Amino acid sequence: MANMMRKSGIGRILFGTALIWCGVATISTPSRAQTTIQTIPAPATTANGNQSGTITTSNTFQKVFGATAVGGPFRHGCEIQNNGAANMWVSEGKSAATAAETSSHVVAAGGVWYCDRNDVALQGEVDITGTATQAFYAVQY
């Protein structure tokens, strides 16, 4: 069968293509040096990273995270999860004394609030309120 393919025009083309393909497969290319990539992490706040706790006094805001200082280190993100059975309210950019439920984010039981929006982390003070003794998970990074 191989003789028949070699004698026909199509067989010669296929046989020749196979030889060329095999030749290409064995051509060696010089190795290239690997480029070293250095990653330099941006400064991030680790102070007060995990501030999980419970609501101290019902309907009274308490500070979870302070505002980041001018010049950093900056907050890259944070999250607060309501581990209680009732709604909680999270305020950003105000103080615990000036925060109000009417201008805060409602976080339902089991819900999560994130302080980053469109890849930009909010840098203001973060406060929370709800029903006394209800637990929340809070972390910033």
* Domain-embedded: residue 41: no
Cα separation, 21 vs 42, in Å, equals 49
pTM of the model: 0.66
- Could you tell me whether strands 88-92 and 126-129 are parallel, antiparallel, or unpaired per DSSP bridges? antiparallel
Same domain, 79 and 125: yes
Q: What percent of the chain has pLDDT over 90?
A: 51
**pLDDT at 109 > cutoff 70:** yes
Same domain, 90 and 21: no
Q: What is the pLDDT of residue 10?
A: 54
Closest CA to 98 of 73, 61, 134, 132: 61
When comparing pLDDT for 73 and 129, which is higher?
Answer: 129
Q: What is the pLDDT of residue 5?
A: 47
Query: Residue 13: exposed, middle, or buried by beta-carbon count in 10 A (0-12, 13-18, 19+)?
Result: exposed
Is 66 in contact with 125 (CB distance < 8 Å)?
yes
Q: What is the pLDDT of residue 69?
A: 81
pLDDT digits (tens, 9 = 90+) for 39-98: 444 445 455 689 999 999 999 999 999 998 888 788 888 999 999 999 999 999 999 999
Number of domains in the chain: 2
Same domain, 60 and 1: no
When comparing pLDDT for 7 and 126, which is higher?
Answer: 126
* Domain-embedded: residue 67: yes
Is 115 in contact with 60 (CB distance < 8 Å)?
no
* Domain-embedded: residue 79: yes
Same domain, 22 and 83: no
Q: Which domain holds residue 113?
A: 53-140
